[in-house]
Chains A and B, each alone.
Chain A
Amino acid sequence: MNMSTLKARVFVPADASALSVGAEAVARAIAAEGVRRDLPIDVVRTGSRGAFWLEPLVEVAHGGTRLAYGPVASSDVPSLFDAGFLTGGAHPTFLGATDEIGWLKRQQRLTFARVGVIDPLSIEAYRAAGGLVGLQAALATSPAEILRAVRASGLRGRGGAGFPSGIKWQTVHDTAGPRKYVVCNADEGDSGTFADRMLLEGDPFLLIEGMAIAAIAVGATRGYVYIRSEYPHAIRTFARAIEAAEAAGAIGQSVLGSAHRFDVELRVGAGSYICGEETALLESLEGKRGIVRAKPPLPAVSGLFGAPTLVNNVLTFAAVPWILAHGADAYAEYGMGRSRGTLPIQLGGNVRRGGLIELAFGTTLRALIEEFGGGTLSGRPVRAVQVGGPLGSYLPAHLLDTPLDYEALAAVKGMVGHGGVVVFDDRVDMAQQARFAFRFCAAESCGKCTPCRVGAVRGAELVEHIVAHGPREADIALLHELCTLMTDASLCAMGGLTPMPVLSALTHFPEDFGLMPQRHAAE
């Protein structure tokens, strides 16, 4: 008789966000308490479900389902045992069946389906939960068919630019070269974003599988994953995942026993935000100073070491196995307009229930903030929402009905970006936020192009001057001119998008700059 079948299974996240609120101590306490009480317990470390206000979220497998307790402190552990939590006993932290928690139940988790559920480093668990089906499907078909599926799915780059993935993949495929590369951009530097990290920590095989499919499709045999140095847990987990995937034959000399070879190498960044820009990332991967390259040539044509290179974000690659496993049409059924599929949204800032919310494109900001976020944490009115990271626009309350959709956001001069949504209440000073946008750009600019290198510094000084001395017409005009210059003349999106938060603040919140407030239709 196998003792393990008798063991109770307890799931405790090892995700960095859970660890930051004590998950490690909780896991240890549960194991220790099990030993003390002579109860055979298997403590499975998982990723996070993404409901951060419930972390550390402890789950137990009972009766064919998962029951949730949270947030659990290590001091709660004896009482949990006393309450019989291994069999779903009542406890103040008891949340019921995990799948029935409304916040999770209302999501449409395709990419994050396994995150927080399985042991991220168990290839068996990954297989059991539907992993590698997409890769097997890819191996059973032709590169042309994979490319067709990616194109038909409507998948767009999740890193921020939203470029149709099928076209990019096709370009790499069509460009001749003695060797090609697949590069995953896991340099997730945007403030208020964490989806890449959660996936790297919670379901790393999914990324490996997505990259392997991409490699087969474009004709590459080597992949690099560039993770920012600020993600030590993700780095550790992903490094082990590569070894496990190799050991399981999912990658390496022969991908799942096929004739395809695919090796993955993990590379760690050195603390530069701009290395999340794909060409600077390639420079960094080549061992050079991380500065932006001019395009053309596109990386798809001449990328890493001059070879055709597919550079995609973690979430883009991670969306692909589902598409191959379930069909492009099934994926395209999610979403609206030209934004197909799901978007892992990262909701943060001044909200009660922040975390990872994967939804089909089309949900409005209001629904997101109210139904998922539960309003502001402070209880004060929402004044501004920054969508798409530090270079995204600040949208005022009267635009909260804008759906999360590439085109709809563009129409209000915003952007989806990497799916970060940061909420501010009515105490925010938008002139300071505009200044911050310039200061951020100045701090993170690679310094190659003049509009960004010098413009960001002058922009911050200008906003400071306006705040200190009042909005003289000439200064406001110069600010607008500078923003046009940075938008039109910057070498990359860093300088090119910095005006978005600045101009949105100036447009929607002129009173914070000492200008006359603008009038809107009653909300």
Chain B
Amino acid sequence: MTLIKELDTGTPIRTSDRTVTFTIDGRTVSVPAGTSVMAAATTLGTKIPRLCATDKLEAFGSCRLCLVEIEGRRGTPSSCTTPAEDGMVVHTHTERLAQLRRGVMELYISDHPLDCLTCAANGDCELQDMAGAVGLRAVRYGADGANHVKAESPLFLPSDLSNPYFAYDPSKCIVCSRCVRACQEVQGTFALTIAGRGFDSRVSAGGVDFLGSECVSCGACVQACPTATLIEKSVVAQGQPEHSVVTTCAYCGVGCSFKAEMKGDQLVRMVPFKAGGANEGHSCVKGRFAWGYAMHPDRVLKPMVRERITDAWRETTWEDAIARAADAFRRIQDTHGRDAIGAISSSRCTNEEVFVVQKLVRTAFRNNNVDTCARVCHAPTGYGLKQTMGTSAGTQDFRSVAKADVILVIGANPTDGHPVFASRLKRRLREGAKLIVADPRRIDLVRTPHVRAQLHLQLKPGTNVAFLNAMAHVVVTEGLADQDFVRARCDQDAFAEWAAFVAEPHNSPEETEQHTGVPSADVRAAARLYATARNAAIYYGLGVTEHSQGSTAVMAIANLAMATGNIGREGVGVNPLRGQNNVQGACDMGSFPHEFSDYRSVSDDATRAIFEAMWHLPLDREPGLRINNMLDEALEGRFRGIYVQGEDIAQSDPNTQHVTAALEAMECVVVQDLFLNETAKFAHVFLPGSSFLEKDGTFTNAERRINRVRRVVAPRPGMDEWRITAELSRALGYPMTYESPADIMAEIAALTPSFADVTYETLDRLGSVQWPCNAAAPAGTPVMHVDRFVRGEGRFMITEFVPTKERTGPRFPLLLTTGRILSQYNVGAQTLRTSNALWHSEDVLEIHASDAENRGIRDGDLVLVTSRSGEVALHASISERVAPGVVYTTFHHPDTGANVITTDLSDWATNCPEYKVTAVQVRRTNGPSAWQEHHRVEVQTMRQVAAS
């Protein structure tokens, strides 16, 4: 194993229909037109010295090291800024150039510390490399001149150590602007600049320091820095890594590829991998830096058991823990019937881990009581897209956004939730694409540096369907539908029926305005903009799905895209921004009570026969229980045992008190997780899980991209998670005989048409593939439904708007909606165990100034938020981001208990909870709510571990 050093062509290799051919140092080279001489040279293996060029950024031309001579041209142009042209004769190494380069390096080093041996970048410093490459042997300007190096120099600036993850040492800055340009071009935040001019020039984050600046800690600047000026504190502490393993981030559904850079079994840093299909070398603060939870002392590393949930935990052996779980499950089934137990698989786990959990349920449990946390996020996506287009998947790859001309973002907050995709999106918007944001809250995208939404449609929570119908109404009644596309690709009868439906006056923007609160003129403008774009794309998130009409809204989105012909090519599509790293995969793997992998019904005899043949036993043809059914049944005493893989339903599922009551009612709760989470408070057996750094397998991201997760370090608890499940299965009498995750993938491929050609060998060779990956598409499928829909013809669905039952009234006059923020991930189990906690010490309630004033609430006051389900206390933050009548909070902190107040209402088709709409009242208070008090005590008593 060695450290992976990726090829850096200095400037991007362009794509062009035209090829230019010319010679460099006597060798002929052909490159796409527009490619620089420098990048062309790298394809020959010729290294032209450079410092300010790196291929993630456009050429800048500032360091003046990459000068070349071109026959017939005056002077010594910089090769990074000179496009290759046919017939050019370029010389990259001549005596004149050598002199100039040495001269440039001499100037650089005349204002640079000479502490290479003790510098953190020693061994990974481009300045050092270039000094060597140009043969710098002396710095003749002496040591007495102006400088930024010596502490007594008036230009000296002390190091900025404010960011928890990286340090900024201005004395080492060579003013190449790579960090500034990375912040602009790659991340799109524009937090950095060069302060001062001339010799005074130095990188600045503005404000006091990095932590106090607009910096979002994505790490792009650190990655871009050629010296030790911006460097990971972990490298400062540990030194240079010596080998790397390419793996996949386990935070959100973007699925970024990273190089885990290691020293032995110590992780030094995570560096985004340029060949990663999802991220192409970019990252966010979570994936790049917030991996320390894997080493956190809270990690449980030994299996634990207890008789009662009020007992202290007792550490035990794997054999004992698994035997106890198996015995309890068997006993429950013997007593209460086969259907009295079930399992929940995790979207945080690998495809292979999830696959064995659902297999465990269908074989060893002999029922279909398996569900997954997608139930509470994107189940409506699965339902809605399957109904309309034929499969539960986003239609595009992320790269597609670079071709979009109009982008509708609805119910998603990409800069916080999917930041690496947001950077791609912002880049396209800076290039001139138009943006429509439909969201109750003024998310950052509405107005962020060099990006401004043409329209922000600030609709009331719970009215997406009314809004989308109004969009469709305008498309149909103003003759903006793509008739050719509809005729060629869609079910005509369904279209006609749908067109007549949306054209009805009650779906007009003027009529729906009473529900949505969005001015009809804005809806009309948005519909026209969307429908008349050459390429229009829709991106949506949980703000669409987590509603009582979540599935309806997904279908309304699909209708809109089909009606305008925005399906089946780059730059268009229906794009769910998936929440969890493997929510797509968990669904694909057949984690639902009614579906096998590839979304095939358990009631379909032919499909079941395939699985029965592979698994050598008869399978239940009746769909099993969904999570909410399991909980309801538990309170009825009919469901008594559950195996929960890496999901914290006691915090993340709605109406917490209902969930915890159900858990308390069970005889055996088995939790498999990294930490003693909220759900584990109600568990009898705890099986310690592995962090993504310890896993071997695959994750599937929101663009259906199957990425390899490679083992960086051995599983700290001593057993792979898939093996834990397999051992449990064996203990229940159904042995699973896998040697490795590759064997599991072989079984998945054999059973799953979309995965037919997926093997680890293929993934290693191609980097990643997007399913379907089979004989018809051996390299995968970046864009779906190109020539025909998966289901044949696209099917328009009637999407009547039905207001949620959750209504505001005199007692609960405000609508609460929830979301998350950049630095934190969901229930905070991981991010709050890293320095990311610095950015988010508590969940706060955003409330509009007028609502606050009516209640005598000042910024920072503690307020009690009361719903029909419960109440919690939070600090108020007066904000213009929410409209009057709407309040907003995040749910990252377990002791906030945001889900104490959310309701039991859920999507009519999939039971996905209606997290996004809760009628509440808010008033000032002076202490935590009763639930919060109870929770505080409970944490102490229900998490005790007996001394071993």
- A residues apposed to B, CB below 8 Å: 272, 274, 289, 291, 294-296, 442-458, 461-462, 465, 474, 478, 481-482, 484-485, 488-491
Contact = CB atoms under 8 A, between A and B. Distances in A.
A478 B140 contact: yes
B140 A474 contact: yes
The 5 nearest A-B residue pairs measured at CB? A294-B61, A447-B201, A445-B198, A485-B103, A294-B81
Given A462-B141, A488-B76, A457 B64 contact: no
B44 to A, nearest CB: 22
B583 interface: no
Interface stretch (B104-112, B564-572, B895-903): B104-112
Contact of B197 (A296, A445, A454, A474): A445
Given A272-B197, A443-B198, A489-B67, A454 B103 contact: no
A450 B199 CA distance: 9
Interface string B56-82: 000111111001000000011010111
Nearest to B200: A447
Nearest to A486: B103
22 contacts: A294-B61, A444-B198, A447-B197, A447-B199, A449-B61, A452-B198, A453-B198, A453-B199, A454-B108, A454-B110, A457-B145, A457-B199, A458-B145, A461-B142, A461-B145, A465-B142, A484-B100, A484-B103, A485-B99, A485-B104, A489-B100, A491-B62
Contact of B103 (A291, A453, A456, A481): A481
Given A447-B198, A491-B62, A457 B104 contact: no
B236 interface: no
A448 B62 contact: yes
Contact of B62 (A442, A443, A444, A450): A450
A442 B199 contact: yes
B103 A289 contact: no
Interface of B: 59-64, 67, 75-76, 78, 80-83, 96, 99-100, 103-104, 107-108, 110-111, 140-142, 144-146, 174-175, 177, 193-194, 196-201
A444 B196 CA distance: 11
B75 A488 contact: yes
Nearest to B141: A458
Given A450-B107, A491-B64, A456 B78 contact: no
A89 B840 CA distance: 85
A442, A451, A458: residue with the most chain B Cβ atoms closer than 10 Å:
A458
Contacts of B64: 449-451, 489-491
Contacts of B62: 294, 448-450, 491
Given A294-B60, A488-B76, A491-B61, A447 B194 contact: yes
Nearest to B104: A450
Given A296-B82, A442-B199, A461 B76 contact: no
A462 B108 CA distance: 16
Given A449-B63, A453-B198, A485-B107, 15 more contacts: A289-B194, A294-B81, A447-B198, A447-B200, A450-B62, A461-B142, A465-B142, A478-B140, A482-B103, A484-B103, A485-B99, A485-B104, A490-B64, A491-B62, A491-B64
A474 B138 CA distance: 13
A442 B174 CA distance: 16
Contacts of B75: 488
Nearest to B147: A457
A99 to B, nearest CB: 46
A7 to B, nearest CB: 52
Nearest to B111: A454
Contacts of B60: 294, 448
B224 to A, nearest CB: 16
Contacts of A447: 175, 194, 196-201
Contacts of B107: 450-451, 454-455, 458, 485
Given A294-B81, A450-B107, A489 B200 contact: no
A289, A447, A462: residue with the most chain B Cβ atoms closer than 10 Å:
A447
A488 B73 CA distance: 13
Contacts of A455: 107
A442, A448, A478: residue with the most chain B Cβ atoms closer than 10 Å:
A448
A462 B142 CA distance: 10
B110 A485 contact: no
A416 to B, nearest CB: 19
Nearest to B202: A447
Contacts of A491: 61-62, 64, 78
A291, A295, A450, A484: residue with the most chain B Cβ atoms closer than 10 Å:
A450
A168 to B, nearest CB: 17
B99 A453 contact: no
A482 B104 CA distance: 9
Contacts of A481: 99, 103
A446 to B, nearest CB: 6
B104 A451 contact: yes
A458 B198 contact: no
Contacts of B196: 447
B104 A453 contact: no
A274, A291, A456: residue with the most chain B Cβ atoms closer than 10 Å:
A291
A447 B103 CA distance: 17
A446 B81 contact: no
A491 B64 CA distance: 8
Contact of A294 (B78, B103, B198, B200): B78
B80, B103, B177, B196: residue with the most chain A Cβ atoms closer than 10 Å:
B103
A251 B103 CA distance: 51
A152 to B, nearest CB: 26
A294 B175 contact: no
A449 B78 CA distance: 11
A481 B200 CA distance: 24
A295 B103 contact: no
Contacts of A484: 99-100, 103
A366 to B, nearest CB: 32
A456 B110 CA distance: 12
A110 to B, nearest CB: 32
Nearest to B176: A450
Contacts of B175: 447-448, 450, 453
Nearest to A485: B103
A205 to B, nearest CB: 35
A295 B197 contact: no
Contacts of A457: 145-146, 198-199
Nearest to B145: A461
B64, B82, B100: residue with the most chain A Cβ atoms closer than 10 Å:
B64
Nearest to A495: B64
A489 B63 CA distance: 9
A443, A446, A453: residue with the most chain B Cβ atoms closer than 10 Å:
A453
B759 to A, nearest CB: 46
B443 to A, nearest CB: 25
A489 B76 contact: yes
Contacts of B199: 442, 445, 447, 453-454, 456-457
Nearest to B144: A461
A296 B145 contact: no
A259 to B, nearest CB: 28
A485 B81 contact: no
A446 B197 contact: yes
A474 B142 CA distance: 12
Nearest to A452: B198
A296 B61 contact: no
Contacts of A296: 81-83
Contacts of A445: 197-199
A85 to B, nearest CB: 51
B829 to A, nearest CB: 43
Contacts of A489: 64, 67, 76, 100, 103-104
A62 to B, nearest CB: 53
A490 B194 CA distance: 19
A475 to B, nearest CB: 8
Contacts of B76: 488-489
A462 B110 CA distance: 13
A24 to B, nearest CB: 35
Contacts of A485: 99-100, 103-104, 107
